[in-house]
Structure 1
């Protein structure tokens, strides 16, 4: 039997090799959000669960859609065995969620999104990806609620669909391998990348899609995934582009602020 109680009140529950930054809201003056940064994409599950739990403390219901930029779809459904384990997960215990994220979810990073959907941590899913077919999918969660999973190959297609929706709150998720055109999934091909100027435009605060997302964002997750970006240095390059586009300082500093808000 694993003891998931903390060593003391100061013990951090975050999974190993992950980091969070508290930020002012990028749009709303009095809001605060967190950004979670980690190597393996599956660790996003911990942050989605943590943030959903925080939101529900003073709300009876709170739907949060997920918008994910990823080369892969990462939309594997939890099997019956996984559903049984997920149903037993104590969502009040961040240490248990941390352990589950790191050591019980699929290490190939395929089922973290649908596992979160199954527990209704996420309402509907919108994935901008380069892999797989684009048909809508559906998942019934452990309480019988139906969720829709939508996939898009271009930013314009995603923007058109989102702008027609009535979504009010989202988590924004970026796997940095999204900025590759071909990656290590096919070892016979050399890794190729988006042009830097295209990366900057895709995540720019002047981009209408990013503005729309940030107006509704309640948490941001960034996955380095160096195995699929061509190595750690490549992941850090794209992280640096995001930092320089969004923030006045590198993540990990005190008082990191949004560049467009001219925060100190």
Structure 2
């Protein structure tokens, strides 16, 4: 029988095929921040939990909101059976959370956000997305976590509307989450259909360190998660293209290297 315990009990047990980097903080303050990169968006649950625990050790009680750029809304609520499993999780056990993220969260990669909200790993959610045919799809949603705390989930069609709402908020800490399929203009397409994409100049304007919304996010940053999701970008080469676009905008060398630096701080 396979032994499902980690070989090294002190290992962080990161999810399969994921990488992470420690970086200086993009605001220039004297602290570090981490970035997690992976294929399947559900693996973000692991990193959000890890970073929330690290923040709790340093700061005591802390609320961290999630800002996500994603073509899909990814807001499937945990069912009662899943809620029970979530509350039974040992959120301080890195291997257990890694296994849960990989093999117990929905393989469709659409339940990780609300699961994180239910455990109060994430406070409120702000999603810039494209999915939603009807006006009711864009209404705010609410979820009471396992302790009864109410969380608000807000969805936005445009960067401008997201920016306006965030600038009126009193948020102090955020996770910044990017699913690379956001750069597609059409998704959930038929096999014979072709993907359409944002222009490179539009992506640059959206994520540039000169963008005032990005600056606002960076000032409050507690971690960045990036999902490649090649099944929804038009293939792995497309995912790598858009990952490379982010790297060229933000960093002096590709992720996975030692001592990656923010370009705008050099």
1:244 — aligned with what?
248
Alignment of 1:157-236 (within 5 A): 157-187=161-191, 189-236=193-240
Question: Corresponding residue for 1:72?
Answer: 72
Alignment partner of 1:206: what SS? coil
Question: Is the contact between residue 184 and residue 230 of structure 1 (CA under 8 Å) also seen in structure 2?
Answer: no
> CA separation in 2, counterparts of 1:174 and 1:168?
19
TM-score (norm 2): 0.95
| CA distance, structure 2, for counterparts of residue 159 and residue 20 of structure 1 | 28
Instruction: Point out 4+ residue stretches in structure 1 off by more than 6 angstroms.
Output: none
CA–CA distance in 2 between the matches of 1:16 and 1:219? 19
Residue by residue, what CA displacement relative to the aligned partner does 1:154-207 show, whole Å, maximum 9, x if unpaired?
A: 000000000000000000000000000012444463210000110111110011
* Mapped partners of 2:167, 2:179: distance in 1: 23
Say whether the 8 Å CA contact 1:185–1:228 is kept in structure 2: no
Pairs within 5 Å for 1:54-69 = 54-69=54-69
1:181-237, Cα deviation, whole Å (9 max, x unpaired)? 012444463210000110111110011110110110100000000000000000000
Aligned position for 2:110? 110
Whole-Å separation in 2 of the counterparts to 1:203 and 1:114: 25
Cα contact 1:4–1:93 (8 A) shared by 2: no
Q: Match of 1:46?
A: 46
Match 1:150 to one of 140, 151, 154: 154
Give secondary structure in 2 for the equivalent of 1:182: coil
RMSD of aligned residue pairs (Cα, Å): 1.5
Structure 2, unpaired ranges of 5+: none
Contact conserved, 2:12 with 2:94, CA < 8 A, in 1? no
| Separation in 1, partners of 2:5, 2:51 | 20
Give the distance between the partners of 2:93 and 2:138, measured in 1 at CA.
Answer: 36
Q: Deviations over 1:13-69 (max 9, x none)?
A: 101110100000001320100000000000000000000011111333100000000
The alignment partner of 1:86 has SS state of helix
Which residue matches 2:93? Answer: 93
Shift of 1:127: 0.2
What are the ranges of 5 or more consecutive residues in structure 1 without an aligned counterpart?
none
Relative to 1, partners in 2 of residues 1:69 and 1:186: Cα closer, same or farther, differing over 3 Å?
farther
SS in 1 for 2:146: coil
Matching residue of 1:120: 120
Change (3 A) 1:185 1:60: farther
1:130 maps to 2:130: yes
* Cα distance in 1 between the residues matched to 2:118 and 2:201: 37
* TM-score between both structures, scaled by the size of structure 1: 0.96
Aligned length: 262
CA distance in 2 between partners of 1:214 and 1:147 (Å): 23
